[in-house]
Structure 1
Amino acid sequence: MKGKSDKELFQAMRSGDEYAFQSIFNRHWQPLLAFVCKLISDEDQAKDIVQNAFIEIWHKKETLLVQDSLMPYLTVITKNEVMSLFRKDKIRLAGDEILIANLKRVNHPDEHLIAGELQSAIDTELVKMPSNMRQCFQLSRYEQKSIRDIANELMLSEQTVKNNISEALRRLRNHLTSYSSGHLA
């Protein structure tokens, strides 16, 4: 099956040939994973997205039209999955990450003052959070640990870690929004 084109393999897969599907998977999963990993930093989530793309192809095999290669279709599926993830997953909100990153590279003296006040406001709000929530947030944002690593370290489920980080970000956003109304542009 190695010498066959995607179109030929897809035709065989359409007839229910699981070996053809396996050949398609083996041919495309690594480049697709590399593509998704460039878009998101969580390799486990990237693997899930790639797996979902192949599952979708299997489920839509009767209605899909393949011209030459499946890669364009797989790329579109994974891009849509990543966009959906960004819409749903409030863990990776760019505004919060930009704020934290900017706090670390302040140059102007006035910016140091504002950054110090912001960091103080963040710290004040973090102290109010439950211990697990605060730890999840700090490990994620300050130590750049993955969801899986945090879950293992704190002996929590990955979903609990995601929920804690999401809630921490929501609380910080709300606190900083009310705090910054007179301080930040």
Structure 2
Amino acid sequence: MIKLLTDEQLVIQLNESNKRAFGEIYDRYWYKLFCIAYHQIGTREEAEELVHDLFESLWNRRDQSNIRHLSSYLVLSMKHLITNFIKSKITWRKYKEHILLQKMQEASITDNDVEFTDLSQALDAALKKLPEKTSKIFQLSRFENQSVKDIAKELNLSEKAVEYHITRSLKILKDHLWIYHTPN
């Protein structure tokens, strides 16, 4: 008997909390709403969930709704749910991308720290292999930024001797630290 009712009559009975009227609305419109959602979302499970959410909302707000055209109301409600669903997916994806980017940056910083530590240790080891005077001249030149003239004066050497020690230390360090060389 309920199947013979018009949409308007079903809405009136729905407002009166008639579960059979709700069931008839569900039977009439479930597939249409599912097709709309599935076409927009692309997954069966999510489309079914949206249809379920729409009918749950329809039942929960049955006494508050002022529905004039049931079919139009349901289709517009579904489109509204789909829009919100897509927005939430976009927001969630942006959030996940942000977290992923943050983790990549943290990993990069950690990798850089490890590489710097490794390079520092390798440099210290290589400097220990240099003769004491050559190592001292290299450190004054490169780490303390002293000029060849100042180093020569401080160590009582000729400028040529200081240049020789710097050149020699650079060659030895280059040979020992070749693994850290980048083509840049």
TM-score (norm 2): 0.49
Larger RCO of the pair (alpha carbons < 8 Å, separation 6+): 1
Return the index of the structure with the highest Cα Rg.
Answer: 2
- In terms of fraction of residues, the more helix-rich structure is 2
